[in-house]
Structure 1
Amino acid sequence: MTALFISDLHLDPQRPHIVDLFAALLAGEARRADALYILGDLFEAWIGDDDDAALPARVAQATRALRDAGVPVYFMHGNRDFLLGADYAARAGITLLADPTVIELGGERTLLMHGDTLCTDDVEYLKFRALVRDPRWQAQFLSKPLAERRAFAAQARGESRRHTSVARPEIMDVNQAAVAAAMRAHGVRKLIHGHTHRPATHRFELDGQTAERIVLGDWYEQDSVLRLG
């Protein structure tokens, strides 16, 4: 099995070259893969499945074409596109994955996560995450007009940039104890995640055995694809 893993594309009309890179991946290399896994933050922001902007429609057409070519496309919510729902998934031909999810990869149980829940030292972010993941908050937000939701998303992006600029760099990364706890809970020795934008492969000892944590790269300046098979 050859699987492709990507995350943190943050697709945005203001960065059309990144959208083009993603479209090229779907029309090219991904056609020869056995599966494509998108581990969150495919979009810079998601205001609801009823968004009538051009970008979601273009992406849905491209992912559906890949699925129709015989390659399953799996999507896990990130901290930017956690409102992406079943309606859009159906249009886009993608399968929604829970965060976390365990898959068999080359005969090894492998844990997939977006990665934000591992950043347990970032207390301010985790409070915000708990708020926006509340079904009552989501229902209220999605009931608002599109223009109001777009304005909120723009404000939230600004707040995120502010938080990132003032927060200590170490709290923006994963907490090793949280990593170990997640891997123990799921009985795995391999973890793949995104979110931190710090691509690397970390090998460490977990309960007397070698464990591996692979961090996916972001797509702010270029594409970044993990190929495993």
Structure 2
Amino acid sequence: MQKTLFISDLHLTPTRPDITDCFMRFMQNEAIECDALYVLGDLFDFWIGDDDDSPFARQIKQAFKHLTDQGIPCYFTCGNRDFLVGKRFAKQTGITLLPDEHVVDLYGRRAVVLHGDTLCTQDERYLEFRAKVHQPWLQRLFKCLPMFVRRKLVARIQSDIRQDKQQKSMDIMDVTPSEVVNVMHRHQVDLMIHGHTHRPNIHQNTDSSQTRIVLGDWFEQGSVLIVKHNDFQLEQREFFH
């Protein structure tokens, strides 16, 4: 059976081994039997650089390398937590890095895939942060810092992000409908797949025959989108504690 799998917002971290265990089972038992795997951002809770050689980082890299060595194509779009994933990571794992927006052919139907953060145009404070951290010179400077300094900076950033979220309304952190329309129109597609908002759902616009699929996060359970010919299934995967 032909199928393509999509995941996002796993936020993998050594402090949540239950999420990592679920991810490893998914890679070994499900991804190994798919036509292609797409990871649409925030695979990590925060990626501090491709030179991270910790046991945790090696474990995740090896999982992808094993999959790509078996001939399963893996595609990766950076999210707001793992924008430092780069060419070295791609070379070590065999994955293919995608741009912020990318059009794929899913069994004869074109779809635009993206992380989804750029759709949240009302969250102006986040978009300012995003523009800042995507500056190449700042990323180069960060990667020159010792690992222990990077980890301290990341811990502070994560704390600021949590506080910022508590002060925002849910509507601000969701997608802007007009931006969704703009992106789909720009790429001339009627199907969009993204993550970021942690609001898994399949939205059908009957007036325009457009479909927007939102992937779920992996906080309390895993979330996998299975795409087959003319069929979408958004499923959960249980954590084992």
TM range (shorter): over 0.9
Cα distance in 2 between the residues matched to 1:184 and 1:82: 26
Which runs of structure 1 show a deviation greater than 6 angstroms over 4 or more consecutive aligned residues? none
CA displacement at 1:52 relative to structure 2: 2.2
Letter in 2 for 1:17: D
Letter in 1 for 2:222: D
CA displacement at 1:108 relative to structure 2: 0.9
- Paired position in structure 2 for 1:227: 226
- Paired position in structure 1 for 2:211: 212
Letter in 1 for 2:224: V
- Paired position in structure 1 for 2:98: 97
CA displacement at 1:92 relative to structure 2: 1.4
On the 8 A contact 1:35/1:73 being kept in 2, the answer is yes
Letter in 1 for 2:216: G
Letter in 2 for 1:190: L
Cα distance in 1 between the residues matched to 2:59 and 2:227: 27
Q: How does 1:165-204 map to 2 (within 5 A)?
A: 165-204=166-205
CA displacement at 1:26 relative to structure 2: 0.8
Secondary structure of 1:49 counterpart: coil
- Paired position in structure 2 for 1:162: 163
C-alpha RMSD of the superposition: 0.9
Letter in 2 for 1:222: Q
Q: How does 1:96-135 map to 2 (within 5 A)?
A: 96-135=97-136
Cα distance in 2 between the residues matched to 1:118 and 1:8: 16
CA displacement at 1:23 relative to structure 2: 0.6
CA displacement at 1:98 relative to structure 2: 0.9
Letter in 2 for 1:204: N
Cα distance in 2 between the residues matched to 1:67 and 1:155: 35
Q: TM-score, normalization: structure 2?
A: 0.92
Cα distance in 1 between the residues matched to 2:223 and 2:210: 23
CA displacement at 1:209 relative to structure 2: 2.5
What fraction of aligned residue pairs are identical, expressed as a percent?
48
Structure 1 unpaired stretches of 5+: none
Q: TM-score, normalization: structure 1?
A: 0.97
- Paired position in structure 1 for 2:237: none
Equivalenced residue count is 227
